[in-house]
């Protein structure tokens, strides 16, 4: 089974992201707007409970995440992905590091760049047309996220929550 670990922002920020995603994101119908904390990884069903307990243990060490979506950015020229940039904080970096060290399954594909994808699988021409327009609108949203989620992929390619963990710690 394929799993991942994410943080879902507030409904308001999800709705804002979805105004762009429904037009520019090929994965719009497959997953809710999110901040990926650990890249997708494959595990046998027998390992899921142990992973879930590890995520719970980590969540119990961290206080709610304070995030700031500060601008619209792009991973171009590496990929034609457009996203809401989430400012890196020590807390977010440490959470990402703990999840990846304690659940050492799968490879991290990219350097951790906290973000919420709003456009992907765009051609270069589409990217070059859309990106400057979206940057003009910008974004400046601060909020707190008090839960992280272990999610898994269904047969149709969509993702759903396996378990939700409340951030209750001091870090």
Specify burial of residue 4 (Cβ count, 10 A radius: 0-12, 13-18, 19+).
Answer: buried
Residue 11 CB coordination number (10 Å): 11
Q: Which residues are catalytic, by number?
A: 34, 115
100-107 contacts at long range (C-beta below 8 A, 24 or more positions apart) = 100/38, 102/54, 102/57, 102/58, 103/5, 103/38, 103/41, 103/51, 103/54, 103/55, 105/41, 105/42, 105/43, 105/51, 106/39, 106/40, 106/41, 106/42, 107/39
């Amino acid at each position: 089974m394929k799993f991942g670990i994410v943080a879902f922002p507030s409904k308001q920020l999800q709705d804002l992201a979805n105004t762009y995603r429904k037009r520019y994101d090929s994965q719009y119908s497959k997953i809710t707007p999110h901040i990926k904390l650990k890249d997708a990884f494959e595990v046998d069903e027998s390992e899921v409970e142990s992973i879930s307990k590890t995520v719970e243990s980590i969540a119990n060490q961290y206080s709610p995440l304070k995030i700031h979506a500060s601008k619209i950015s792009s991973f171009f020229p590496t990929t034609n992905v457009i996203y809401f940039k989430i400012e890196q904080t020590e807390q977010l970096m440490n959470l990402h590091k703990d999840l990846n060290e304690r659940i050492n399954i799968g490879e991290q594909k990219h350097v951790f760049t906290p973000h919420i994808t709003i456009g992907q699988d765009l051609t270069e021409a589409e990217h070059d047309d859309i990106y400057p327009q979206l940057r003009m609108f910008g974004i400046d949203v601060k909020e707190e996220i008090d839960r992280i989620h272990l999610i898994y992929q269904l047969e149709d390619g969509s993702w759903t929550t396996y378990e939700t963990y409340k951030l209750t710690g001091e870090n």
